[in-house]
């Protein structure tokens, strides 16, 4: 059985979108990747409409089982946070209209899942998502790579549960980064 995840790295200027198929053994394959861009010179309603129409097209074309969206987090620039939140809302609503479940993941969760370290930089995420998906070249710009990383993160997280993944049957099928992420997840659960 394969899980199809549409990952979205929301933003008003650049909204990364990536679709990944992930098998039960965690082997991930890129289906499609892209970036929807809008101009800051456009009105907010027009920019959100462009993103909404693009997401609708991707959802219709790729028919994902689930959507993974980067969770909005606080930054110093309030206008940037607002734009990301608005784009996120449009994306989440598009999935909800179709009955597609939505999962939110923080940037540190994505970094930990893909690289084994929640403090990894964007270059490390791009390098490892390129390797995980067996791509000939890194997805560009970074928003595209982040969207793919979100999709992979969700599939791996939803797959078998972190604690089971570190000790259960088939645990040797995990990469070192997957094992490190699963162990960190299990440790965090024990600490609650």
Cβ-Cβ contacts under 8 Å for 126 (sequence gap 6 or more): 138, 139, 142, 145
Better-scored residue on pLDDT, 20 or 184: 20
CATH code of residue 119: 3.30.420.10
pLDDT confidence of 44, banded at 50, 70, 90?
Answer: very high
Residues 183 and 113 in one domain: no
Residues 44 and 139 in one domain: yes
Residues 70 and 146 in one domain: yes
The predicted model gives 166-174 an average pLDDT of: 39
The predicted model gives 9-29 an average pLDDT of: 95
pLDDT confidence of 80, banded at 50, 70, 90?
Answer: confident
The predicted model gives 107-115 an average pLDDT of: 91
* Residue list, annotated binding site for Mg(2+): 9, 70, 143
**Token match 């595209």: residue?**
144
Residues 105 and 75 in one domain: yes
Better-scored residue on pLDDT, 33 or 183: 33
Task: Determine the pLDDT at residue 82.
Answer: 87
* Residue list, annotated binding site: 9, 70, 143
The strands making up 14-23's β-sheet, listed across from edge to edge, are 28-37, 14-23, 2-9, 66-70, 102-105
Residues 152 and 171 in one domain: no
Return the C-alpha torsion angle 117, 119, 123, 127, nearest 10.
Answer: 10
Residue-number span of the structural domain to which 82 is assigned: 2-159
Residues annotated as catalytic (active site), given as ranges: 9, 70, 143
Structure tokens at 86: 């608005």
Task: Determine the pLDDT at residue 74.
Answer: 64
Structure tokens at 119: 């403090």
Number of domains in the chain: 2
Task: Determine the pLDDT at residue 172.
Answer: 43
CB 95 within 8 A of CB 67: yes
pLDDT confidence of 191, banded at 50, 70, 90?
Answer: low
| Cα–Cα distance measured from residue 146 to residue 139, given in angstroms and rounded to the nearest whole number | 9
The predicted model gives 98-105 an average pLDDT of: 96
The predicted model gives 67-92 an average pLDDT of: 85
Residues 99 and 175 in one domain: no
Cβ-Cβ contacts under 8 Å for 91 (sequence gap 6 or more): 8, 10, 15, 51, 52, 55, 67, 69
């Amino acid at each position: 059985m394969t899980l199809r995840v549409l990952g979205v790295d929301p933003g008003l200027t650049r909204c990364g979108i990536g679709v990944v198929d992930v098998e039960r053994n965690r082997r991930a394959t890129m289906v499609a990747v892209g970036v929807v861009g809008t101009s800051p010179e456009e009105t907010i309603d027009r920019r959100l409409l462009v993103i909404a129409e693009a997401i609708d097209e991707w959802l219709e074309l790729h028919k994902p089982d689930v959507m993974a969206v980067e969770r909005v987090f606080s930054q110093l620039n309030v206008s940037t946070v607002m734009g990301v939140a608005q784009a996120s809302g449009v994306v989440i609503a598009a999935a909800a209209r179709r009955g597609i479940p939505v999962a939110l993941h923080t940037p540190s969760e994505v970094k930990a899942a893909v690289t084994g370290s929640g403090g990894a930089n964007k270059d490390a995420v791009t390098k490892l998502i390129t390797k995980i998906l067996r791509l000939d070249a890194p997805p560009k710009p970074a928003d595209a790579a982040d969207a793919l990383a979100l999709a992979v993160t969700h599939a791996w997280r939803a797959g078998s549960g972190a604690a089971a993944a570190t000790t259960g049957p088939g645990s040797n099928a995990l990469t070192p980064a997957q094992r490190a992420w699963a162990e960190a997840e299990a440790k965090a659960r024990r600490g609650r």
